[in-house]
Structure 1
Amino acid sequence: MTYVDSYAPGIPCWVDVACHDAAAGKEFYSELFGWSSVDDEDGFATFLLDGRPVAGLGPCQKGTRPSWNVYIAVRDVDASVATVKANGGTLIAGPGDILNLGRGAACADPQGGVLTLWQARDHIGARITRVPGTWYWSDLVTPDIPRAAAFYTAVFGWSVRGADPSGSTGAVAMLGQQGVAGFSPLPPGSAPGPYWSVTFQVADVDATAEKATKLGASVAVAPMDVPNVGRFAAIAAPGRETFSILRPLA
């Protein structure tokens, strides 16, 4: 178990889910992962594990599909927005202050992958990791990994390990010696992309997938062993957003 007190700029720090039915979403995730929740303002909620924030939930904007969203820590949101624009990305919303929690801006990379820049104040992000029921990893699922890697490297100072010029294989984004995110090719016939996917650590992938189906979800990718990674499955929640679960090898 790791308690987190800060995130360096360039490291993904938070995830939240946009739902059409917030009450149903809170019930599903609380049952699945053993989370409690605290209601915030305007339909938002914070999920807690061991009394510490692990993820958030909010209402879907009109005309958007339910999804999990990734926040990346930055030192200065306004300066980072300028860098996003200079490298072919676009600003969707913000920058703006969210109470005393921090300053954020929703952006899209040049291919349309949506992310949020987060300049923390009172809310730094997920405060507990590396234990079942916590967010473990995020991947950008994209049709053009080399193009995406160039953008994120320019904006966040990442280096990319394992990138194939054809974009047919995945890659890992590094910040110094730390792996911080992944790039995965968009499978043929999959949901429109690009999009950020999120993975949660669990103690038993098969049992968690079975529990998810009993709670009204469906299994998008059946439990499978991924070499050198762990046991993995992908879930489509009752609200139609997707996420992954993983029991890592170490």
Structure 2
Amino acid sequence: MEMHSYPPGRPSWVDLGTPDPAAAAEFYGGLFGWAGEEGPPESGGYRMCLMNGYPVAGIGPMRHSGRPFWATYISVVDADTTAKSVRDAGGQVYLEPMDVMTWGRMAALSDPTGAAFAVWQPRDHIGAGLWGEPGACCWNELTTREPAAAAEFYHAVFGWTARTEPMGGFPYTVWLRGDQWIGGMLTMDEKWPADIPAHWMVYFAATDTDTAAARARELGGAVLVPPTDIQPGRFTVLGDPQGAVFSIITPPTG
């Protein structure tokens, strides 16, 4: 779907912080067919990833310690007001609101359960120009051990409602803003390794999950969860050569 704007409170952009942006751009270009376009010098090495001429994701140098990761950005009217709301609701502000050239204004934050995310106040750059198309982001999912605390936080900051529904035999929580599904939440239980922190998972759409998983392995990535059928489609969890984790899903046919 071609996007021209995003309502406040909806995920609108994803980007990757990585120690080797050039290698990452080569990997994701080979996997999704993205064309990399490096920004002007003042962008600090940030690359805009294009598909059919539309921006679908960003790749930039990692500016933190730890492992590289895909970040989910949520569209807001005012990044400064949202950062204050995050603090008031018990979250943290890792990067104070700042202008990103003429593209927009952003802040890097985390919820009280430890999951990092960002907010985007659009100006010249609205976010992803495509959503839900193969090779573009299609879903954003909070994974946390404290779903009740997360539900309270995101309702206070963004007005989201958490609604749990049966999903393939187990309960799954979807985030709603009004009556629109805008993301999901998965609860980590005792089966999850203790060293995996709360996080936002980014899902990209694909025409064939199995082919995409095989291609990722050919390009030097890892298949962390093999292609598996679930109610929303067939998905896999992958790792890129630098260690960033992401998911791919193909909706069911018929």
Q: TM-score, normalised by structure 1?
A: 0.94
Q: What per-residue deviation string (whole Å, max 9, x for no partner) do you get for residues 183-240 of structure 1?
A: 111252165211110000000000110010000011000001102x001111011110
The answer for the alignment partner of 1:243 in structure 2 is: 246
Is residue 233 of structure 2 the alignment partner of residue 234 of structure 1?
Answer: no
Unaligned stretches of 5+ residues in structure 1? none
Distance 2:117 2:145 in 1: 16
- Given that 1:201 and 1:247 are in contact with CA atoms closer than 8 Å, whether structure 2 keeps it comes out as yes
Question: Does structure 1 residue 22 correspond to structure 2 residue 21?
Answer: yes
Aligned partner of 1:199 among 176, 198, 203: 203
Distance (Å, rounded) in 2 between the aligned partners of 1:243 and 1:124 = 22
| 1:238 partner letter | P
For 1:224, the aligned partner's letter is: T
- Does the alignment pair 1:142 with 2:144? yes
Aligned to 1:131: 133
1:163–1:107 distance in 2 versus 1, CA, 3 Å:
farther
In the aligned structure 2, how far is the partner of 1:94 from the partner of 1:163?
Answer: 36
Superposition map of 1:1-250 within 5 A:
2-40=1-39, 41-162=43-164, 169-186=171-188, 187-189=191-193, 191-227=195-231, 229-249=232-252
| Distance verdict in 2 for CA 1:153–1:62, change over 3 Å | closer
Distance in 2, matches of 1:101 and 1:183, equals 29
Q: Tell me the amino acid that sits aligned with residue 252 of structure 2.
A: L
> Is the Cα contact below 8 Å between 2:140 and 2:201 reproduced in 1?
yes
Residue 249 of structure 1: how far off its partner (Å)? 2.4
The letter for the 1-side match of 2:213 is A
Q: Secondary structure at the match of 2:55?
A: strand
Whether contact under 8 Å (2:132, 2:204) holds in the other structure is no
Asked if the contact 1:199/1:243 (under 8 Å) is kept, the reply is yes
Greater than 3 Å deviation, 4+ residue runs: none
Percent of pairs identical after alignment? 39
Distance in 1, Cα, partners of 2:62 & 2:196: 17
1:9 alignment partner, SS class: coil
TM-aligned CA deviation for residue 159 of structure 1: 0.8
**What residue identity is the alignment partner of 1:83?**
S
Q: Name the SS of the counterpart of 1:128 in structure 2.
A: coil
* CA-to-aligned-CA distance 1:64-114 (integer Å, 9 cap, x gap): 310000000111111111111111011111211111010111111112111
Calculate the aligned-residue CA RMSD, in Å: 1.5
